[in-house]
Structure 1
Amino acid sequence: MTKICQSLNEFSRELIYPLFPIFITKVLGFSILQLGVIEGASEAASILTKRAIERKSEKETHKVLLPLLTLLVSSITRPLFAFFEGIFPISLIRFADKLEGNKSMIAKLLGPLAAFLLLPYLDFNYKKLFLITVIPGAIVAVLIYISIRELPRSVKVDKESEFLQGKKSKTLILPKIFFSLGNPSGSFLMLRAQELGSTTSVLPILWLITNSFLILSSRYGGKTKNKSKTFLIGIFLRSIAYISFTFIPFDSHLWLPFALYGTAMGLTEIPGGKSYFESKRDKTNRIPPYLPPLAEGLTPIIANSFIGFLWNWWSSFLAFMICAGLNLIALGLLFLLTPSDNS
């Protein structure tokens, strides 16, 4: 039942994801810098909140209760986009929107496809599309209510969980920071597509292409034995994707950079790639335990705000080229700092 709720929540998120930046900039009239601040602040807050919930859930008897509540908040607040226009409430709703994530492959495909099919019937009214998310949100609320009622009164918690074990691992702080700084929100990709002349109805299809290649590449990455090499290839492809977004001549060729971007995300978000930065043990305890999550929480707001600033005051060309450069720096640092993995 929890997986059903997660899939419905992911479907609801993917339904509005490719259209959210257009709604913010074209309908509400926010600048691209303000969009970057909204995306960065909401992403940073959601990361830090999820880390706190993970830590708290290790100490509580109801390990499932807190994740279910965050899933509920994420699902039922999404329709509120249709009722608020200020930057502060929009940021709060966006924070709740990102609070619970899921890797449901079907939802990642059905969400953009549903947006593409529904938009003409809704007269391309974004607020009406946001209101449709009430339906999956209501279903999630009912299922979570049933799940909470059926939870056992106590759950045995292992003394040393995966989260606690993660504290012992060494984090490659510097390459991870450059890696995160070079990975702003996908909202900027949607804005670039519209800048090149793509219509609103095409944007969900472009995001569908992204998710399709993400699914295919993640399946390959999950089966390969050399996770580190796959992760490094993903970083390189992501830098190429940002360069292609810069030099793509016509909107008819936009499927290619979106396909590259999806492939790169699939290779860098596989389980092996996700734990790559924590692959070495820290026997000296020189890295404070609070530093990795703090860096992970701060880099999204810096990355998105900085890219929004560059785009707003200079051009998208400079913004995407800097993203590509940051990824190449992260790639070079990983080669230098982990020579044993390069073979």
Structure 2
Amino acid sequence: MIPARRALSRARRPGLLAVPARPILPMMPRAVLQLPATVWMLGCISFLNDTAGELVYPLLPIYFAVVLQVEPRIFGFIEGSALAVNSLLQLVSGRAADRSRSAKGWVVAGYGIAAVSRPMLAFAQSWPVAMGFRLADRMGKGLRSSPRDALLALSAAPGQRGLAFGFHRAMDNVGAVAGPLMAAWLLEQKADLRQVLLWTAVPGLLTVALTLCLKDVEREARPAVPFDWRIGTFSLAFRRYLLVLGVFTLGFPSSLFLLLRARELGVPDAELPLLWAGVSLVAALCSTGFSAWSDRVGRKTMIVAGWWVYSAILLLLGFDGWSKAWLWPLFAMYGLFFAATEGAQKALVADMVPRHGVGTAFGWFNLVTGLLLLPASLIFGGLTQAFGSAWAFGFSAACAVAATVLLIVAVPRPERHPDP
């Protein structure tokens, strides 16, 4: 509990909001219910969309390898191309949403393209056709993500941003649990892979129906400006934050590497989906509370705590000799890392930039954190193959520690921006 004098001192600092001296967790259900309708709508949309996405995602390697007879290097090319398209479009769509002062059209289009392309994968008879549908799916994500994040930031009051982004991530993670469970049930009912892909149309259509009900947030008219997405137009603090995120992301390889490590340490193949579902479940349960806490203790505090946890997880996974029983709580900690950081990282972006540039800012955020995932995975895989898992996990942990220190010393506390 924060003493009254300390709370008053915090309230008088520029960029900080006064907070009640009451525990935040008992107030959480009421605070969530008081979130704007747009935040609730976007949360439900993300739940349905992630249910559809995670219904198909764990099965994609099997579908490409077994059904379409695609070699691993071709599959890597497909996924790498999809990642690049997604990351680049997030910057373009974010800037376009700012320039048009409207996010809804981009959100509807992005979710709509994904809803159509996922079930169409079931009809692909060759890998180039399947690649086209996979690229379309990731194109939809690229078109919607930055405008959606901007709409979230503009819909919530500054003191609710952490709670809003945390609630959104919680709903997303609930979908990440529901999707694999639905896929497992369908496979248990003897559905083949193409039939499972077709089932993604159901949550996909519901997603599009909800996006059509969204309402845009009005922004004040501004003079027409050229289409400009230069990073130099933002504050030095925001640019430093992106640099720090880049350092961290270089040590953030695909989560598939962590699952492969769990397999090496004795987790059976049949339990790997349950292990990953457990990560999503922990993140879903804790994201709202942890992100709301960032409204109280500060974004940087939550991010730093989460990054320290992530560093410890990587160092521990680098050691051999773990029993299978210990991996379950270790992966539960991985879910806590996601819960502590995902919402707070995005809320910090919104805190650092003016309203008229929030879409472009999220475009840069998603570009940096998206594009660097590919080299991060390549570096991790190369180190694992050349020197072993200990070196790979050690490198990633070192990147996380370096990013944590840089965040503490190089990124100042953001000041609240007045509306233009």
Conserved 8 A contact 1:18-1:112: yes
Q: 1:118 maps to which residue?
A: 186
Conserved 8 A contact 1:6-1:71: no
Q: Could you tell which deviates more after superposition, 305-314 or 290-299?
A: 290-299
**Counterpart among 115, 122, 131 of residue 75 in structure 1:** 115
Q: 1:30 to 1:264 in 2, by over 3 A?
A: farther
* One-letter amino acid of the counterpart of residue 268, structure 1: T
Q: 2:310 maps to which residue?
A: 238
The whole-number CA distance in structure 1 between the counterparts of 2:330 and 2:59 is 18
The whole-number CA distance in structure 1 between the counterparts of 2:325 and 2:404 is 31
**Counterpart among 199, 216, 228 of residue 132 in structure 1:** 199
**Counterpart among 342, 345, 368 of residue 273 in structure 1:** 345
Correspondences of 1:1-343 after superposition (within 5 Å): 4-21=44-61, 28=69, 30-31=71-72, 38-60=78-100, 63-82=103-122, 83=124, 86=127, 89-90=130-131, 92=135, 95-96=138-139, 98-99=141-142, 100=144, 103=169, 104=171, 105-122=173-190, 125-141=192-208, 143=209, 147=212, 157-159=219-221, 167-169=233-235, 170-172=238-240, 173-224=242-293, 225-226=296-297, 227-247=299-319, 249-270=322-343, 272-276=344-348, 295-311=368-384, 315-338=388-411
Q: 1:200 to 1:117 in 2, by over 3 A?
A: farther
The whole-number CA distance in structure 1 between the counterparts of 2:128 and 2:323 is 33
Over residues 170-195 of structure 1, what are the superposed CA-to-partner deviations in whole Å (9 max), with x where a residue is unaligned? 32143221111122222333333444
Over residues 35-70 of structure 1, what are the superposed CA-to-partner deviations in whole Å (9 max), with x where a residue is unaligned? 665545433421321221122123337531121011
Conserved 8 A contact 2:81-2:135: no
The whole-number CA distance in structure 1 between the counterparts of 2:366 and 2:288 is 28
TM-score by length of 2: 0.63
Conserved 8 A contact 1:171-1:277: no
Q: 1:198 to 1:209 in 2, by over 3 A?
A: same
The whole-number CA distance in structure 2 between the counterparts of 1:292 and 1:40 is 19
The whole-number CA distance in structure 1 between the counterparts of 2:365 and 2:207 is 33
Q: Give 1:74 shift.
A: 1.5
Q: 1:280 to 1:8 in 2, by over 3 A?
A: closer
Q: Structure 1 unaligned runs (5+)?
A: 283-288
Q: 1:195 to 1:34 in 2, by over 3 A?
A: farther
Conserved 8 A contact 2:313-2:334: yes
* RMSD (Å), alpha carbons: 4.0
* One-letter amino acid of the counterpart of residue 289, structure 2: Y
The whole-number CA distance in structure 2 between the counterparts of 1:195 and 1:26 is 23
Q: Residue 220 of structure 1: SS of its match in structure 2?
A: helix
Conserved 8 A contact 1:61-1:157: yes
Q: Give the length in aligned residue pairs.
A: 324
- Identity across the alignment (%): 25
The whole-number CA distance in structure 1 between the counterparts of 2:94 and 2:45 is 19
Conserved 8 A contact 1:241-1:257: yes
Q: Could you tell which deviates more after superposition, 16-25 or 331-340?
A: 16-25
The whole-number CA distance in structure 2 between the counterparts of 1:294 and 1:65 is 20
Q: 1:339 to 1:151 in 2, by over 3 A?
A: closer
* One-letter amino acid of the counterpart of residue 72, structure 1: G
Over residues 102-128 of structure 1, what are the superposed CA-to-partner deviations in whole Å (9 max), with x where a residue is unaligned? 6325423322332333332237x5444
Q: Could you tell which deviates more after superposition, 294-303 or 51-60?
A: 294-303
Q: Give 1:235 shift.
A: 0.7
Q: Give 1:329 shift.
A: 1.6
Q: Give 1:223 shift.
A: 3.0
Structure with larger Rg: 2
Q: Residue 220 of structure 2: SS of its match in structure 1?
A: coil
Q: Give 1:218 shift.
A: 1.9
Q: Structure 2 unaligned runs (5+)?
A: 1-40, 146-167, 223-227, 355-360, 415-420
Q: Residue 189 of structure 2: SS of its match in structure 1?
A: helix
Over residues 139-176 of structure 1, what are the superposed CA-to-partner deviations in whole Å (9 max), with x where a residue is unaligned? 445x26x93xx899x9854347xx99x95333214322
